[in-house]
Amino acid sequence: MLLPIAPTDSLFLLGESREHPMHVGGLAIFTPPDGATAADMRAMLDTASADGQITPLFRKRARRSLTTLGQWGWDTLADDALDLEHHIRRDSLPTPGGMTELTALVSRLHSTLLDRSRPLWEMHLIEGLTDGRYALYTKIHHALADGASTMRLLRAGMSEDPHRRNMPAPWQVPHPPTPPPSAEQTPPITDASPTASALSTVRGIARTTVAEVTGLIPATVSTLGGAVRGTGGAIALTAPRTLFNVPIGAARHADARSFPLERIRLLAKHADATINDIILTLCSGTLRTYLHERNALPAAPMIAMVPVSLRATDTTTSHSPGGNRVGVLMCNLGTHLPAPADRLEAVRTSMREGKSALRAMSPTQVLAMSALAVAPLGAEMFLGRRGPQRPPFNIVISNIAGPPHPLYWNGFRLDTLHPLSIPTTGQALNITATSNDDHLVLGLTSCRRTVPDLNPLLDHLDTALDHLETALGL
């Protein structure tokens, strides 16, 4: 029996084409323990694959049938029906086996579509790094998981103990299923009959639904009013056209730059800002310099779409539900302002206003306003071309919280995690930040035709950080 796919998740299937692969990815780079080699890693993966239950998320296949009225649904395969040899690949880098060769390979892998006749994920064990490390590139369809749920899977499949061994493979259930509640944990029996309880539940759902629908009208009016005034919120009406807001091709280019997380924390503390405010300000300075060098800097400030996770804040659970629970904020990046401190103030003000607007809404209303905000982009994806109107925003900048402590898989230490995301028609560049232990990584994913070389942008990130520290007296 097919389970229906949530409307938000199905959009990533409906909008996918050869030019628009709809998967996200991550490049994890590991250092082996003393005396271990990539051959040991291969052997451990092979051993783990022979036993253990595969995570349900990795057994879900997208299908259509009469039971779903032609709409996409999830078909969950049995463990023995999953062809692991298709999903688990091995690649080797050409000489000299450095980061240049690694990012070139991962960029090509990130450009190809996932096979829809199978569960929508792949993992590539990459060998040949001359420094003795090895890499694991994973891509998973955005209909299956968003960044927050993917990070939960990563953390649940690893350990903070460098001496732990016999751990399951990354695609397997990391822990035994949670046992059923004991007698002491069983909820008390109420006097209500099952029928009365069911009727009470239905009435509660109906009241909630009516309240949500009624609340959408003032939420929409407030959101559109904020967009007209240029204050922060889920919708923006002032994004200028830039060289990033053009039709895209299928080829991707991905790279990343890492910074000590303490530098970012110190800036945030000194400026009474959030870490995300600092990240957005670094991106603002980088984009301003990059466009100015090409005589393409717009007079109006660029607008970033900033995804906001609507999941519970607890990220320790190993049972990630997958799917997407994401709202959006539109952030004024202040790219028209020459001073770094002024750009930070523009970002901070915009994000504070936006968060205040979202706090006044329920999660359902946030999702509805977010859907309205990205509707023009969705229309462009389905049409396969940019429309004549202004872009709804100029760039997507995400921040996904990563593990705060070193993580290990069977003694192999996770050194760094490079996020890879989704450019779309009208959005040829995506920036995703994530943290790992004591470092912050900014991952850039672009349409190769529009932004063929990411090195200038990466170098401008370094410069933007230096300039912001100088402006704040650090």
Tell whether 275 is covered by a domain: yes
Tell whether 81 is covered by a domain: yes
Q: What percent of the chain shows pLDDT beyond 90?
A: 54
376: preceding bond cis by omega (within 30 degrees): no
Range list of H helices, 384-448: none
What is the tally of structural domains in the chain?
2
For the chain, the first-to-last Cα distance in angstroms comes to 60
- Do residues 151 and 222 share a domain? no
Alpha-carbon gap, residue 138 to 70, rounded angstroms: 30
- Do residues 329 and 440 share a domain? yes
Tell whether 105 is covered by a domain: yes
Positive or negative: CA dihedral 47, 52, 55, 58: positive
- Do residues 367 and 239 share a domain? yes
- Residue pLDDT, tens place only, 259-290: 999 999 999 999 999 999 999 999 999 999 99
Q: Name the more confident of 454 and 218.
A: 454
- Do residues 348 and 444 share a domain? yes
- Residue pLDDT, tens place only, 125-179: 999 999 989 999 999 999 998 877 888 888 888 999 999 988 988 888 875 444 4
Strand order, beta sheet including 121-127: 88-92, 121-127, 134-141, 23-31, 412-420, 408-409
Does residue 208 carry a pLDDT above 50?
no
Among the candidates 92, 123, 156, a domain finishes at: 156
Tell whether 324 is covered by a domain: yes
- pLDDT confidence of residue 69: 75
- Do residues 309 and 446 share a domain? yes
Q: How does the average pLDDT of the chain come out, rounded?
A: 82
Q: What percent of the chain shows pLDDT beyond 70?
A: 77
Tell whether 345 is covered by a domain: yes
Alpha-carbon gap, residue 122 to 169, rounded angstroms: 13
**Rounded to whole angstroms, what are the CA distances from 229 to 55, 353, 375, 420?**
47, 12, 20, 34
DSSP bridge pairs for 139: 25, 122
The residue range of the domain holding 284 is 212-402+418-471
State the average pLDDT over residues 11-24. 90
Tell whether 244 is covered by a domain: yes
Alpha-carbon gap, residue 249 to 395, rounded angstroms: 17
pTM, full prediction: 0.84
What one-letter code names the amino acid at 97?
G
Active-site residue (options: 23, 124, 141, 142): 142
Tell whether 185 is covered by a domain: no
Among the candidates 156, 171, 195, a domain finishes at: 156
Tell whether 195 is covered by a domain: no
Measured N-to-C along each axis, helices 340-359 and 194-229 cross at an angle, to the nearest 10 degrees, of 150
- pLDDT band (50, 70, 90) for residue 370: low
Does residue 212 carry a pLDDT above 80?
no
- Do residues 361 and 429 share a domain? yes
395 with 428: CB under 8 angstroms? no
Does residue 337 carry a pLDDT above 90?
yes
Nearest one of 37, 203, 82, 58 to 141, comparing CA atoms: 58
- Residue pLDDT, tens place only, 309-331: 765 554 444 444 565 666 789 99
Does residue 397 carry a pLDDT above 50?
yes
- Do residues 121 and 252 share a domain? no
Q: Is 142 a catalytic residue?
A: yes
Strand order, beta sheet including 60-64: 3-4, 72-76, 60-64
CATH number, position 72:
3.30.559.10
- pLDDT band (50, 70, 90) for residue 216: very low
- pLDDT confidence of residue 384: 57
Nearest one of 174, 154, 143 to 61, comparing CA atoms: 143
Among the candidates 119, 135, 156, a domain finishes at: 156
139 with 25: CB under 8 angstroms? yes
CATH number, position 389:
3.30.559.30
- pLDDT confidence of residue 25: 93
- pLDDT band (50, 70, 90) for residue 233: low
Alpha-carbon gap, residue 204 to 198, rounded angstroms: 10
Alpha-carbon gap, residue 142 to 381, rounded angstroms: 15
Alpha-carbon gap, residue 244 to 110, rounded angstroms: 19
- Residue pLDDT, tens place only, 452-463: 999 999 999 999
Quick one: DSSP state of residue 318? S
